Chain A
Amino acid sequence: MQVESEAMQNVQVVRLKGRFDAFEVPAFTDWVERHVKPSHAQVVVNLEGVEFIDSSGLAALVKGLKRCREYNGNFVLCYIQQPVLIILELTRLDKAFTFYEDETSALEALSA
């Protein structure tokens, strides 16, 4: 999985591409460790390139969400592909996350 990120004003956008499974979790967790700080806790995760996420990938997202909340920030998802949406629904995690159609609307919401 590729992990690319970009800081836009006070929000960090992280773009993931590939299969988000146990092998790929460390790359994402590393990114969270290095980039999410009390002063930088606004995150938009772009999942446009992710077609499959397994239970460890889901756990990594939940961890990211918790970390941002601890710092009174936000951790939102955008560009969710159908398989990932269905997986979030089946595991009932759709309730835990806020989704946006695309980066623009996520950024607007977070900088409001």
Chain B
Amino acid sequence: MPYSNYEKWKTTPLQEPPFLSIVIPAYNEAERILPTIGAIASHVSDLGFPWEMIIADDGSRDKTVQIVEDLGFANLQVLRAEKNGGKGSAVRRGILAARGQHVLFCDADNSTPIEEVSKFIYQLTQGGQDLAVGSRAAEGAQEENKSLMRRVLSGGLRVLVRYTLNIKVRDTQCGFKMYTAEAARHLHNLQTINGFSFDLEILFLAFRQGYKVAEVPVTWIDAPGSKVNARKEVQRFLRDIWIIRRNAWRGMYNRAPEAAAEAPQLANSPTA
């Protein structure tokens, strides 16, 4: 575990396209972001492939952007947003800016420990999958510190999601998902939902477009400091299920995403 891998990553801009891009949506994360960046940078730099990190700010009103920019890391870029647009909008901006062959998004609180990443890479590189989605419900998953409220909610919603949207994974909301670059761009170009239920839409689209989706059991720690208001989110969620169905009936997901085919150019210096 040489520290020099991390040092090299933070000081030397990549000369080649990254194998992996890690996108972290961040809304007022000044408290939580540095430990998460540190844990990820330490672990992933040792895996032996070129990678980049993208912090997709979501109109934070605290010092999130400044704190991350001040690090001045060569392969870490911050995408600043003027306004708060919702987690879905932040993830989309991050993913569309990613240059990696594989793209992972994960939460700013490291609630799914980054050590899980290798299982996801394996699914895409060896398992022939297009998406690998973290699951707190799949067999072998370990769930720590989860509230009763969350358990009941996820049970009911899971059944609903399966039957209305034909999504064949048990946990749609886990904030740890990896795609091939092609799938990531294709799906996020079709995305219309900016709030927390964007995951649903992406999965709905993934199954509809015939992408191969693997569910990967993960440990997940329901970190305190979560900013989700459960009641409001459930109402949103139900509304969004309806919106996705309606969008589909109206043919909104049928347009060909031209941009999906093209990878963004490798910029000389990723840091702003």
* Pairing of A with B: yes
Residues of chain B lying within 8 A (CB to CB) of residue A53: 35
Selected from B32, B36, B221, the residue in CB contact (under 8 A) with A19 is B221
Q: Which of B38-46, B168-176, B247-255 contacts A (4 or more CB under 8 A)?
A: B38-46
The answer to whether B39 and A83 touch across the interface, beta carbons within 8 angstroms, is yes
Q: Which of A21, A51, A91 has the most CB of B within 10 A?
A: A21
Determine whether the beta carbon of A90 is less than 8 Å from that of B109. no
**Interface check A111, CB cutoff 8 A:** no
Which of chain A's residues have a CB closer than 8 A to the CB of B223? Answer: 21-23, 54
Pick the contact of B34: A52, A56, A87 (CB < 8 A).
A87
Task: Give A19's nearest chain B residue, CB to CB.
Answer: B221
Question: At the interface, yes or no: B115 with Cβ under 8 Å from chain A?
Answer: yes
Interchain CA distance A19-B6 in the complex, whole Å: 21
Digitize B17-45: 1 where CB-to-A-CB distance is under 8 Å, 0 elsewhere: 00000000000000110111111011100
Cβ 8 A contact of A55, one of B31, B144, B221: B31
Given A19-B221, A21-B221, A23-B145: A54 touches B110 (CB 8 Å cut-off): yes
- In whole angstroms, how far apart are the Cα atoms of A30 and B37 in the complex? 28
* Cβ A54 vs Cβ B109 within 8 A: yes
Q: Are A54 and B6 in contact (CB under 8 A)?
A: no
Taking each of B32, B39, B109, which has the highest tally of chain A beta carbons within 10 Å of its own beta carbon? Answer: B39
Bound CA–CA A54/B3 (angstroms):
20
Given A19-B221, A82-B3, also A90-B32 (CB < 8 A) = no
Cβ–Cβ contact A55 & B35, under 8 A = yes
The contact sample of 26 A-B pairs, CB cut-off 8 A, is A19-B113, A22-B223, A22-B224, A23-B144, A23-B145, A23-B221, A23-B224, A51-B113, A52-B35, A53-B35, A54-B32, A54-B110, A55-B31, A55-B34, A58-B35, A82-B6, A82-B42, A83-B43, A85-B3, A85-B42, A86-B38, A86-B39, A87-B34, A87-B42, A89-B38, A90-B34
Q: Which 8 A-B pairs have the closest CB atoms?
A: A87-B38, A83-B42, A86-B38, A22-B224, A90-B34, A86-B42, A90-B38, A87-B35
User: What is A's interface to B at a CB cutoff of 8 Å?
Assistant: 19, 21-23, 51-56, 58, 82-83, 85-87, 89-91
